[in-house]
Amino acid sequence: MSSEEILQEVAVEVSTCAKCKLCNGRTRAVPGEGNPQARILFIGEGPGFHEDKQGRPFVGPAGQFLDELLASINLQRKDVFITNVVKCRPPNNRDPEPEEIQACSEYLDRQIAAMQPRVIVTLGRFSMAKFFGNEKISSIHGRARKKGSLICIAMYHPAAGLHQASLKDVIRNDFKKIPLIIAEAERMEAEAPKKAPSPSKKLEEPPQQLSLF
Ligand code: URA
Ligand code: SF4
């Protein structure tokens, strides 16, 4: 199956999924969307009010800020893929619970395996935890780390910038590093031996701080 077909298959399963209690309150599940061939994947937390209504990721105020951030580095939604750690809205936008994140992780893992992105940008602490463990966002935001043939970079959630004005410029500055990271990922890809290890193996390797960031 092509990456597009796998992503489509995941989206269909997610639309009727009942693997955790978040299915009870959802209007629509939000599988994520974008370019199946994108080399860069953004992972947020979970759908909010507007996303739940429309079935699309980041379409409310945080999404508007994300669009501005993408535009600032000459990217549009059609150039990237955007998804979330949980695909159904937590009631009143509460934090997703560990069991919910665990139940939903199969979908995210399948999306990552299908896309094989070169760069993953985590938005907020829940997606950060998947790639960076217990670190604090205040100390690692904007830092790129190499994991096998993948580069991960942790960012504050765009909604944090809306709630706390001082973070807005921090997020803007962190985003400005993305083009350089994409260039580095492309250089790594060009140099890599043709037969890359499977993505799941790559994620298990300890992260390596990239010296240039
Ligand atoms: N916040 C998220 O984390 N994801 C969305 O899709 C929207 C808001
Ligand atoms: Fe299924 Fe994920 Fe929705 Fe839970 S959040 S019901 S695991 S799609």
Topology annotation, domain 3-210: Uracil-DNA Glycosylase, subunit E (3.40.470)
Choosing from 27, 84, 92, 125 the residue with most ligand 1 atoms within 8 A of its CB, the one to mutate for a pocket test is 84
Prediction pTM value = 0.92
Ligand 2 centroid–CA 8 distance in Å is 16
Say if ligand 2 is within 6 A of residue 108 CB: no
Say if ligand 1 is within 6 A of residue 100 CB: no
| pLDDT computed for residue 32 by the predictor | 98
Q: How confident is residue 212, by pLDDT bands cut at 50, 70 and 90?
A: very low
Say if ligand 2 is within 6 A of residue 21 CB: no
Say if ligand 2 is within 6 A of residue 30 CB: no
- pLDDT tens by residue, 29-68: 999 999 999 999 999 999 999 999 999 999 999 999 999 9
What value does the mean pLDDT take over residues 7-22? 98
Domain ranges of the chain: 3-210
Say if ligand 2 is within 6 A of residue 29 CB: yes
Ligand 2 centroid–CA 106 distance in Å is 10
pLDDT at 198 over 70: no
pLDDT at 145 over 60: yes
What value does the mean pLDDT take over residues 81-88? 98
The encoded tokens of residue 79 equal 């150039």
